[in-house]
Copies of this chain bind each other. A is one copy, B any other.
């Protein structure tokens, strides 16, 4: 079973990477890029076969390790 976790900075938290990418895109001549935010995507392959159990386990992984909940939000997607 596969799980995908998106970890993104909370709203209002400074994103230095996004800021730098935005200005680099401007430098490359891409106009009209109003905001850039950079996050992580983590793809997990799990032995678990029950979607609900998988979700519960991945949510726990997010809280304990994958996301830094002080500054980051996370979203879990489970696919068969």
- B41 touching A36, Cβ below 8 Å: no
- Name 20 extra pairs, CB < 8 A, besides A21-B42, A33-B47: A8-B43, A21-B66, A25-B61, A25-B65, A28-B65, A30-B57, A30-B60, A32-B46, A33-B46, A34-B46, A34-B47, A35-B43, A35-B45, A38-B41, A38-B43, A39-B40, A39-B41, A39-B42, A40-B40, A40-B41
Complex CA gap A40/B36 in Å reads 13
A55 at the interface (CB under 8 A from B): no
Min CB–CB distance A8 → chain B (angstroms): 7
Q: How many residues of A contact B (CB 8 A)?
A: 32
Interface pairs (18), CB distance under 8 Å: A8-B41, A8-B43, A18-B42, A24-B65, A25-B65, A30-B57, A32-B48, A33-B47, A34-B45, A34-B47, A35-B43, A36-B42, A36-B43, A36-B44, A39-B40, A39-B42, A39-B43, A41-B41
